[in-house]
Structure 1
Amino acid sequence: MIKIGHIGLGRMGLFHAENISQMNDAELFALCDLDEEKLAKEAKRLNVKKTYTDFDEMIKDDEIDAITITSPSHLHTEQISKALKAGKHVFSEKPLGTTVEQCKLAEKAVEENPDQVFMLGFMRRFDKSYQYAKKAIEAGKIGKVYMVRSYSQDPTAKIEGAIAFGPHSGGEFLDMCVHDIDLMRWFIGSEPKKVWAIGGCYAYPEFADWNDGDNVSALMKFENDAMGFLFAGRTAPHGYNVETEIMGTEGIIRIGSVPQKNLVEILDSTGIRKEISQDFIERFSDSFKDEMKEFISCVKEGRKPEITVYDGTAVSEIAYKCKESFESGELVEL
């Protein structure tokens, strides 16, 4: 059994903790959070042996094999570095860091601890539909990929949480668009060389206080001349909506073009409708579980995951160039 120490009991953190607690080859051994009341409650509910309010104390525990990090984004790189140096394997939620400088420090920590497994939580790569698309692209089924279009929309119902997180999120391009950027790099197999980003505060002017928007977009030119377009919004009235289109010279792949939670159609007095997921946890529930299974497998088998610390840095660099273009209104070269 791989014994795991887990930090962070927010919505995302609790979801990861629950997933780990249900695994056959891993044990949720310790929890860490500043909220002592919540910590005690969740440790009892999930049958966790140890609790900590100090991350530095938790990573001293010799019984712990691996650390999973779902703390606030600006703490990720420091905790990644400390845990690796303490001899622990590390899984961290995205983003890798809230500045490129932080990401470089994480790279250094991973390089200095080559015997430890490090994995970053780009869970969309573990979605069955995205994996199917990736294999189809590699098999040449749509020819040469020349365009990837990716939409990510959060529901208006979750806007208060987005506003509360706004001051330390790093902005919408880093907070939301890292998944879209990662998928573009993954599908296209190249890095962007130019980006132009626009957007604004169309419904919630609060985001302007952090040089951010509630709806933003970016157009990218990649080194192999492929195009990328992303849109991220926080004001979808209908629910959580993620869709991706990959265009090739011989075909097109669309994923989630009609956002629906299942294949059910409801016929009633309002007409015919399909229900959709209301948040990312519901939409990518299986993907989150599968990425954690992959992390545990890498630890047990002594191998490194496909997603590396350098993917985290690359995506963060691109996201900040998008933000730079958004703020300046100018085309930015990478």
Structure 2
Amino acid sequence: MKSVKVFAPATVANVVCGYDVLGFAVDEPGDEVIMRLNDKPGVSLLKITGDEGRLPLDPDKNTVSAVVKHYLNHVGRQDIGVEIELHKKMPIGSGLGSSSASTVGGLFAINTLMDNLLTNKELVPFAMKGEELACGYGHADNVAPALMGGFVLIRSYEPLDIISLPCPQGMHAAIVYPEVDVPTKDARQMIRSKVLLKDAVTQWGNVAGLVSGLFMNDYELIGNSMTDVLVEPTRSILIPDFYNLRVLAMEAGAVGFGISGSGPSVFALTKDRETATAITQKLQQHLQKLAINSLAFVSEVNKKGPVILD
């Protein structure tokens, strides 16, 4: 195979209480990557669309190409040439793993063209290099679910230990992206470096409860566990009318509600598509009253990860 077109999904990281250790993939939005091999050694980024000129074409500075170079060095194939087109199909800086989708799209494409030398799980450390380039820290709670699909727990970073989690059949996410700017680097810098032991204990209990709820198909336990006492109180300041959005979502039938990644996107978990659709409509109507434009996405939890389109 000399060329491939790949779709890589957006992700919801943290899932409220699981800062840097929990995430899940969604069906939409996402990014598309077109990759071709040639005989001229080196990686070139030919085109980027959908980014409004915000992303670099320098192959060493863009995550989609930088991780491909890292992959080729690892497998000893610096002799081949790679041409890449990146088509952004999702908003940048949305808290939905925009850099992750680009990174994962590039890695999945080159691994496909190399006859799948590595498993998707084995690609995660390479993808983390892309996250380090994008935001200064190589976290895995976006790239792991984007590569592996479904819900993912990062039990440990040193050594890296990634666990796929089940989730109830038919679980959906209602996602609303208020069109305000919340850079990931800035959002991370707001987080406290030290926490009270009593808050840590509360957070540990909620993470354990959420994971247990996913295994038990227990929506009540999942919802009761979706509480964050460490990060959300700070990051919610950056989200327009966050707590009123939460009230609206819960009143409309959400299982739980929170910030997606570093924001400003918010999400609700629901038992079905109809409830998720109703929630996005209510949240968008509320934001419109505040003169804030928004985008909405409704998706079942994506259990496939990246896919070949062509």
TM-score by length of 1: 0.25
Instruction: Report 1 or 2 for greater relative contact order, CA contacts < 8 Å, sequence distance ≥ 6.
Output: 2
Greater share of helix: 1
TM-score by length of 2: 0.26
